[in-house]
């Protein structure tokens, strides 16, 4: 009965490889997010989808490509991995965003990506 | 632009001590403010929130009051426990900002028995 789940929990790979992280939520939310947490614990938004439509795309290298097959899933694909991509990636979801209300975001357990 | 600043950590306290973690923000308009907690090896959990000036958020003995005049949202707890050891993040969402959370840098709290 996990609300927001991510797979895998740990991912160790070599530079230049392509990898994907999957996220699923069973809360019936319309909006999903990807955040990156660096080695100093700093968290920054990467992407957000509202019912499969991209609404936030921060300054992220185009090697990162989110894909939302349906509103319950938001996957993150990373091409040509670099050492600097090593971080913890968190998926989150919330009720449909609108400009008048700030809804609570529910976070997944995170995926620790290590690029060697 | 929008930003959040938290006090530098780590903060080390003895059990039953009083906790304050300072948080100030910069934002246009009237953001909603949040405290999230991250226990070791886990994701973030919402601890409390406040959506307008003078609102007080509270949960599990933690409290924070939205102070517009000082642009602050300081986290307090009267008596900390070892189980409160975690990283605490102050964050805001600004209306019209497409719902993205803007986080402070996090403050590590370590409570010793």
Chain A and chain B share a number of CB contacts under 8 A equal to: 66
pLDDT at residue A99 is higher than 60? no
Closest CA to A74 of A22, A111, A19, A109: A22
Q: Which two tokens stand for residue B97?
A: 């900002």
Grade residue B9 by pLDDT with cuts at 50, 70 and 90.
confident
Q: How much is the pLDDT for A11?
A: 97
Q: Which of A4, A97, A106 sits opposite B98 (nearest CB)?
A: A97
B91 three-class SS: strand
Q: Could you tell me which chain A residue has the CA closest to the CA of B3?
A: A44
Q: Is the pLDDT of residue A1 over 80?
A: no
Q: What share of chain A is helix, strand, coil (3-state, %, to 5)?
A: 5, 55, 40
- pLDDT for position B42: 87
Shortest Cα distance, chain A CAs vs residue B81, angstroms: 23
DSSP bridge partners of A12: A114
Dump pLDDT digits (tens) for B62-106. 999 999 999 999 999 999 999 999 999 999 987 665 678 899 999
Residues in chain B: 113
């Amino acid at each position: 009965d996990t609300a927001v789940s991510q797979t895998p929990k740990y991912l160790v790979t070599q530079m230049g490889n392509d990898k994907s992280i999957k996220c699923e939520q069973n809360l019936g939310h319309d909006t999903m997010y990807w955040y990156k947490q660096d080695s100093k614990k700093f968290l920054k938004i990467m992407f957000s989808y509202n019912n499969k439509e991209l609404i936030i795309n921060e300054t992220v290298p185009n090697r990162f490509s989110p894909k939302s097959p349906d509103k319950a899933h938001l996957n993150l694909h990373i091409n040509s991995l670099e050492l600097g991509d090593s971080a913890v990636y968190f998926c989150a979801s919330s009720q449909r965003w609108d400009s008048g209300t700030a809804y609570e975001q529910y976070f997944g357990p995170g995926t620790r990506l290590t690029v060697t | 632009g929008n930003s959040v600043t938290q006090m530098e950590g780590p903060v080390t306290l003895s059990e039953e001590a009083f906790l304050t973690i300072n948080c100030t923000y910069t934002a246009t308009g009237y953001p909603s403010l949040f405290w999230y907690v991250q226990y070791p090896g886990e994701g973030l959990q919402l601890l409390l929130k406040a959506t307008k000036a003078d609102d007080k958020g509270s949960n599990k003995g933690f409290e924070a009051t939205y102070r517009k005049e000082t642009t602050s949202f300081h986290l307090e707890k009267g008596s900390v426990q070892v189980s409160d050891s975690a990283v605490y993040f102050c964050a805001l969402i600004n209306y019209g900002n497409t719902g993205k959370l803007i986080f402070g840098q996090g403050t590590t709290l370590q409570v010793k028995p």
